């Protein structure tokens, strides 16, 4: 049986996702880091980026976040994000409009994300 870890991604408005996953890659302030089952406990600051959920050796979900905090334990990872957008259901027109009105750094990030959709 494949080991899993409990992923919970929450924003001030709602719980974005709660599910068992094999691995999560998170944009930490010191760089990307992966969370696997039995990970050492960790509290990490997050920066704007994309959270990637891995199952069966593939990325199954991509969620764009605007920073936050990750609380990692041996059995779970809880990501508390200021704002999050599930890229599988994101409205491309809304993302393009947001990029057009954003500052340079955010616009560059959004345009890079849009190019992957």
Q: What percent of the chain has pLDDT over 90?
A: 71
Q: What is the rounded distance in angstroms from the CA atom of residue 41 to the CA atom of residue 19? A: 19
Do residues 52 and 24 make contact, with C-beta atoms less than 8 angstroms apart? Answer: yes
Do residues 43 and 69 make contact, with C-beta atoms less than 8 angstroms apart? Answer: yes
pLDDT band at 96 (very low <50, low <70, confident <90, very high): confident
> The tokens of 46 are what?
């997050």
Kindly report the average pLDDT of the chain as a whole number. 92
What are the two backbone dihedrals, phi and then psi, of residue 94, each rounded to the nearest 5 degrees? -65, -40
Global pTM?
0.87
Q: What percent of the chain has pLDDT over 70?
A: 99
pLDDT band at 1 (very low <50, low <70, confident <90, very high): low
Listed residue (47, 42, 41) closest to 28, CA to CA: 47
In whole angstroms, what separates CA 70 from the centre of its chain? Answer: 10
Summarize pLDDT for 38-47 with one digit per residue, the tens. 999 999 999 9
Summarize pLDDT for 47-71 with one digit per residue, the tens. 999 999 999 989 999 999 999 999 9
- Residues present in the chain in total: 117
């Amino acid at each position: 049986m494949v080991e899993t870890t409990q992923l919970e991604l929450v924003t001030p408005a709602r719980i974005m996702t709660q599910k068992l996953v094999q691995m999560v890659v998170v944009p930490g302030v010191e760089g990307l880091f992966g969370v696997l089952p039995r990970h050492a406990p960790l509290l990490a600051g997050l920066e704007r980026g994309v959270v990637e959920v891995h199952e069966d050796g593939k990325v199954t979900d991509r969620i764009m976040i605007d920073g936050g905090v990750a609380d990692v334990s041996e059995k779970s990872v809880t990501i508390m994000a200021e704002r999050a957008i599930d890229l599988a259901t994101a409205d491309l027109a809304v993302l393009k409009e947001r990029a057009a009105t954003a500052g340079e750094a955010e616009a560059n990030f959004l345009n890079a994300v849009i190019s992957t959709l």
